């Protein structure tokens, strides 16, 4: 039997439609959370971080951590395993990742006018119409971003993307479920040798993509009958060496019969291909109200393959810490408003695993003693050499890495 995927922007009676569809067909519900959890196990990553791959807001550290790319690769891998089971009903953002070549997947889209969905949201959430309107708008924005990122199509409700589009304001959940079940029973949507091979190609491409990104490589991956094609879309100075390294990673993967590398349409643009080294510090937050100093420091750290982001005051830093979870923070002690003492104190209360390095030009021995008592990793006086800063960051990063290893062993 085919897989059924259901996509909507929320508040389109998804729950009753899914419930009635399961009662009618006996399909097994595979929630987005199930796929994310399975992907987390495969990637050895926190499912909370995996799910962020669906969000329109990427972490400021992502270009150094590749968490979004790693998450998507393992979501695809978990999804491919799910589709291999009969009777899988998959609602949510994961479904659109399934390639159109997997023809035994019935793509369903639920739609309704914004006014209708706003009324449904207000009733379900017990909130005002104004609050519901904001909720619906945010949901639309997330859907638009997601579909556009996959298909370069800013209209997430474009009928060309689906096998069936159902206006839920004009049909009852019972009739919607019956309509989906009828479509799922059609011969044209049943598995064929070709569609099963397309599913295996999807799995193989995902497995290859995951293996490559775990080694710090981000290239486009496709597969056809066991032949894997790797497309390099950024300029690289030593192309032959990169191609050889990519092939050495992809060829041992089970199911790979051959590996071909090629350059894509963006290869000759100015952006330079960069292999990511996950052993280097990649989530360093620099906090200082001296803008030129902190921008220069960030650039010099990046030249040393250390990923960093910048905040110019304590309030912005605390907001970024809450949203993006840096691992190492370098903070100036004396700043207007929320100063380095406050940042250190609040970080150690809410995120004790984060290592905080104090960097100041106005400190004294009493300040140093207090900072270390509050849990600072190090207390450094300006001015100092960039090597001293980078070595201290490396030491803090190594402490964090060892704690993670010890945590896995418990």
Pairing verdict, β 3-7 and 88-91: parallel
pLDDT above 70 (res 328) = yes
Shared domain for 356 and 243, answered yes or no, is: no
CA distance 59 to 54: 12
Note the pLDDT of residue 410: 54
| 268 occurs within a structural domain | no
Q: What's 138's domain CATH number?
A: 3.40.50.300
Q: Tokens for 67?
A: 């968490």
* Domain-located, residue 276: no
Residue 205 lies in a domain: no
Distance CA 53, CA 213 (A): 14
Tell me the C-alpha to C-alpha distance, in Å, between residue 287 and each of 217, 251, 332, 355. 30, 44, 6, 13
Range of the domain at 157: 3-189
Place of tokens 């002690």: 333
State which H helix or E strand residue 3 sits in.
Answer: strand 3-7
Of the three residues 189, 224, 250, the one that is the final residue of a domain is: 189
- Residues 158-193 pLDDT 10s: 999 999 999 999 999 999 999 999 999 999 999 999
In a domain, 201, yes or no: no
pLDDT on residue 274 = 66
pLDDT tens figures, 152-167: 888 899 999 999 999 9
Rounded Cα–Cα distance for residues 13 and 10 (Å): 8
Domain match, 48 and 165 both:
yes
Q: Which of 154, 189, 224 is the last residue of a domain?
A: 189
| Axis-axis angle for helices 67-83, 32-43 (nearest 10) | 120
> Same domain for 45 and 74?
yes
Look at residues 131, 91, 98, 90 and name the one whose alpha carbon lies nearest to residue 9: 91
Position 266 pLDDT exceeds 80: no
User: How far separated are the first and last CA of the chain, in Å rounded?
Assistant: 43
Paired strand residues for 309: 285
pTM value is 0.79
33 sits in which H/E element: helix 32-43
Structural contact between residues 70 and 10, judged by C-beta atoms closer than 8 angstroms: no
pLDDT of residue 100: 93
Helix (H) or strand (E) holding 191: none
Same domain, 11 and 136: yes
Distance, in Å, from the CA atom of 371 to the CA atom of 368, rounded to the nearest integer, reads: 5
pLDDT at position 309 is 92
Look up the CATH number of the domain holding residue 382.
3.40.50.2300
Q: Which among 15, 10, 17 has a CA at the least distance from the CA of 118?
A: 10
Q: Tell me if 200 is assigned to some domain.
A: no
Average pLDDT over residues 30-57: 91
The answer as to whether 63 is a domain residue is yes
Q: For the chain, what is the domain count?
A: 3
Q: Are residues 302 and 247 located together in one domain of the fold?
A: no
pLDDT digits (tens, 9 = 90+) for 329-349: 999 999 999 999 999 999 999
In this structure, the answer to whether residues 7 and 118 fall within a common structural domain is yes
Q: Are residues 68 and 123 in the same domain?
A: yes
Same domain, 27 and 143: yes
Answer yes or no: is 23 within a domain. yes
Structure-token match 């050895």, residue found: 44
Residue 187 to residue 2: CA distance in whole angstroms:
10
Q: Which of 71-80, 84-93, 261-270, 292-301 has the least mean pLDDT?
A: 261-270
Is the backbone of residue 13 left (phi > 0), alpha (psi -120 to 50) or beta?
left
259 and 331 in a single domain? The answer is: no
Answer yes or no: do 293 and 365 share one domain.
yes
Residue 173 and residue 87 share a domain: yes
Reading the block at residue 31, the tokens are 């929630």
106 near 5, Cβ under 8 Å? yes
Say whether both 141 and 220 belong to one domain. no
CA distance 404 to 410: 10
Mark which of 155, 189, 223 sits at the end of a domain: 189
CA atoms within 13 A on the CB side of 177: 19
At a CB cut-off of 8 Å and minimum separation 6, what does 180 contact?
A: 4, 6, 17, 21, 106, 108, 164, 166
Q: Considering the domain boundaries, does residue 275 fall inside one?
A: no
């Amino acid at each position: 039997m085919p897989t059924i995927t259901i996509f909507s922007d929320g508040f389109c009676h998804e729950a009753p439609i899914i419930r009635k569809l399961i009662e009618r067909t006996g399909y097994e519900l595979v929630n987005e959370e199930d796929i994310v959890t399975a992907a987390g196990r495969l990637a050895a990553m926190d499912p909370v971080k995996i799910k962020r791959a669906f969000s329109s807001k990427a972490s400021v550290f992502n270009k150094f951590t590749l968490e979004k790319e790693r998450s998507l690769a393992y979501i695809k891998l978990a999804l491919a395993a799910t589709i291999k089971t009969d009777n899988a009903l998959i609602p949510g953002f994961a479904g659109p990742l399934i390639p159109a070549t997997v023809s035994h997947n019935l793509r369903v889209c639920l739609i309704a006018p914004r006014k209708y969905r706003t009324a449904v949201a207000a009733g379900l959430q017990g909130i005002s119409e104004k609050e519901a309107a904001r909720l619906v708008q945010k949901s639309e924005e997330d859907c638009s971003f997601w579909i556009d990122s996959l298909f370069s199509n800013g209209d997430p409700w474009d009928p060309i993307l689906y096998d069936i589009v159902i206006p839920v304001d004009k049909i009852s959940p019972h009739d919607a479920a019956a309509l989906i079940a009828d479509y799922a029973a059609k011969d044209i949507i049943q598995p064929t040798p070709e569609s099963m091979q397309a599913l295996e190609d999807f799995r193989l491409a995902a497995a290859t993509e995951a293996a490559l990104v775990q080694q710090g490589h981000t290239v486009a991956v496709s597969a056809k009958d066991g032949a894997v094609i790797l497309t390099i879309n950024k300029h690289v100075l030593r192309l032959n060496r990169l191609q050889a390294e990519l092939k050495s990673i992809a060829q041992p993967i089970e199911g790979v019969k051959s590996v071909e590398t090629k350059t894509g349409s963006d290869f000759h643009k100015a952006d330079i291909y960069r292999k990511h080294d996950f052993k280097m510090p990649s989530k360093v937050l620099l906090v200082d109200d001296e803008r030129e100093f902190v921008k220069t420091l960030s650039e010099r750290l990046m030249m040393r393959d250390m990923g960093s982001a910048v905040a110019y005051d304590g309030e912005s830093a605390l907001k970024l810490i809450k949203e993006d979870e840096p691992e190492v923070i370098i903070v100036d002690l004396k700043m207007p408003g929320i100063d380095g003492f406050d940042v250190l104190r609040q970080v150690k209360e809410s995120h004790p695993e984060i290592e905080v390095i104090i960097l100041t030009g106005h400190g004294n021995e009493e300040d140093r003693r207090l900072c270390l008592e509050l849990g600072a990793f190090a207390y450094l006086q300006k001015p100092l050499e960039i090597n001293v800063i980078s070595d201290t960051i490396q030491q803090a990063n190594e402490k964090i890495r060892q704690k993670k290893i010890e945590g896995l062993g418990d």
